[in-house]
Structure 1
Amino acid sequence: MNITNALEIADMYVTRAAAAPTPELLSLLYRSSLNSIHAMYAAGLLSAAENEECLKRFVDTCQRRQIEITGVRP
């Protein structure tokens, strides 16, 4: 995979979260990916609007996957 920008990296985080097979892995991905998205924004690699969109998509994906895996809302 050839990643060229921060938006592609954020998309990769969303894809990984959507495929997480266990709640434990999803939790780990959630923390590390969320921190990475914040870091990309802090480093100026994402605009405020891009950061907001990435965070919304990532959190929504994690919540949906949590429900799929456990059947319980987080």
Structure 2
Amino acid sequence: MTYILIEIIRRYLRKTARKEDVFKHIKWQLFKRPENLSKVERQSLEQALISSDELRQMEDLPAILTLAKIVWKSQ
């Protein structure tokens, strides 16, 4: 589910900010673990995060979804 949400937001950013190259070629960087990113990948992803509030908020998404699952299972 997390991957679907990430992909939806990424596509939205690509469509709404066509002139900004910062959102090009970041798809797989969004899915990679931070420790597995190369220096160049990390820099381009950081540029995208600086340029987009939506992407910055998305960083917390996996933790939020995990917490939601825990709460849901406990009810």
TM-score (norm 2): 0.36
Q: Please identify the structure whose Cα radius of gyration is greater.
A: 2
TM-score (norm 1): 0.36
Instruction: Indicate the structure whose relative CO is greater, using CA pairs within 8 Å and at least 6 residues apart.
Output: 1
